[in-house]
Amino acid sequence: MKIAILSRNKELYSTRRLVEAAEQRGHQVRVFDHTKLYMVNETGEAALYYGNEKVVGYDAVIPRIGASVTFYGAAVIRQFEVQKIFCTVKSVALTRSRDKLRSLQIMSREELGIPKTAFAKHPKDIPHLIRTVGGAPLIIKVLEGTQGLGVVLAETQQAAKSVIEAFMGMNTNILVQEFIKEAGGADIRAFVVDGKVVGAMKRQGKEGEFRSNLHRGGSSASIKLKRSENSAAIKAAKAMGLSIAGVDMLQSSRGPLILEVNSSPGLEGIENSTKEDIAGKIIEYCERSAGVKGKLRDKVGV
């Protein structure tokens, strides 16, 4: 099988592991910087090029699209989809997952547990936003933020009002969300592949830090999910249309609360924490979906 991986940096842990797992199973694999692919559409043909080279003959595509290039990355995936090439992440699911508000609206529709969240445009609604989510302390999130960036804990009502006013003054879209105290600065990342949780870890923020992101200095450890948490992760990924997803959730007194469903979840933290071959699970999913069997090679000499 020929596999294309869309990644801007082939040296990233996740990209390297996917290449390794694919080659170990006897597949041909190539990494493309998706920002350097370009599309040509004409009657009856939707082509992709990499410089002067026409990109053809691939059986599966594994997109690893960063948040800063979501629009262009989704367009590249869509071009592969028009060619009827299997992609592990669908273009519509990618764009849906990158919109925090849209994601929460979908979670609400599917009756999944989520923290109470408010969204408004006008400064006059600030007192209502604060009151609606239960008052301070509360969380303020920039809609386009990633890896914990653009997330603020406002510990008092006055602080919340000032921060919200500042963001609105810069015409920045934000969400105001209830603070789940009992989570204790920790969350769970469940990694879903093809409708199953293949690994889960609990991430704990460093002392004095409410954000648990590993990029913010947090730590992680493998965790066995409760039945309700496992079910919530699978249902959330399905609701977003994602066959591969990192589902982030909080443990609360009223059950698991979904924070976010990531369409390009990193492999380093989850593999190091769980010691599971998550990259291999993704390649096996490609094999099943593309109707191709892989052959596991001896690791010696690889």
Looking at residue 146, what is its pLDDT?
A: 60
Q: Residue 68 corresponds to which tokens in the numbers above?
A: 């800063």
Q: Which amino acid is at 126?
A: I
131 alpha-carbon distance from chain centroid: 30
- Averaged over 244-259, what is the pLDDT? 96
**In the predicted model, is pLDDT for residue 216 greater than 60?**
no
User: Quick one: pLDDT at residue 205?
Assistant: 72
Name the average pLDDT for the chain. Answer: 91
Token representation of residue 8: 């801007």
- pLDDT (0 to 100) of residue 210: 57
Does 148 have pLDDT greater than 60? no
Whether 191 shows a pLDDT value over 70: the answer reads yes
What percent of the chain is predicted at pLDDT more than 90?
A: 81
Other residues' Cβ atoms within 10 Å of the Cβ of residue 207: 7
Burial class, 13, CB count within 10 angstroms (exposed 0-12 / middle 13-18 / buried 19+): middle
The pLDDT, as a whole number, for residue 211 is: 57
Sign of the CA dihedral with 60 first, then 64, 69, and 74 last = positive
Residue 185 has a pLDDT of 85
Rounded to whole angstroms, how far apart are CA atoms 257 and 116? 10
The pLDDT of 244-255, averaged and rounded, is 96
Q: How many Cα atoms are found within 13 Å in the side-chain-facing hemisphere of 260? A: 23
- CA separation for the pair 191, 268 (Å, rounded): 12
Q: What is the pLDDT of residue 157?
A: 93
pLDDT at 43 over 70: yes
Label residue 219 by pLDDT band (50, 70, 90).
confident
- What are the structural domains, with CATH classification, of the chain? 2-89 (3.40.50.20), 116-179 (3.30.1490.20), 182-286 (3.30.470.20)
Over residues 75-112, the pLDDT tens digits come to: 999 999 999 999 999 999 999 999 999 999 999 999 99
Q: What is the mean pLDDT of residues 101-126?
A: 94
Strands 53-54 and 45-50, by their bridges, are antiparallel
Confidence of residue 220 (pLDDT cuts 50, 70, 90): confident
Is residue 300 very low, low, confident or very high in pLDDT (cuts 50, 70, 90)? Answer: very low
Instruction: Give 298's pLDDT tier (boundaries 50, 70, 90).
Output: very low
Return the pLDDT at 268.
95
What mean pLDDT comes out for the span 51-67?
A: 96
Three-state DSSP string of the chain: CEEEEECCCCCCHHHHHHHHHHHHCCCEEEEECHHHEEEEEECCEEEEEECCEECCCCCEEEECCCHHHHHHHHHHHHHHHHCCCEECCCHHHHHHHCCHHHHHHHHHHCCCCCCCEECCCCHHHHHHHHHHCCCCCEEEEECCCCCCCCEEEECCHHHHHHHHHHHHHCCCCEEEEECCHHHCCEEEEEEEECCEEEEEEEEECCCCCCCCCHHHCCEEEECCCCHHHHHHHHHHHHHHCCCEEEEEEEEECCEEEEEEEECCCCCHHHHHHHCCCHHHHHHHHHHHHHCCCCCCCCCCCC
Average the pLDDT over 161-179 and give the result.
Answer: 92
Contact, 24 vs 295, CB < 8 A?
no
- 34: pLDDT strictly greater than 60: yes
Q: How confident is the model at residue 302 (pLDDT cuts 50, 70, 90)?
A: very low
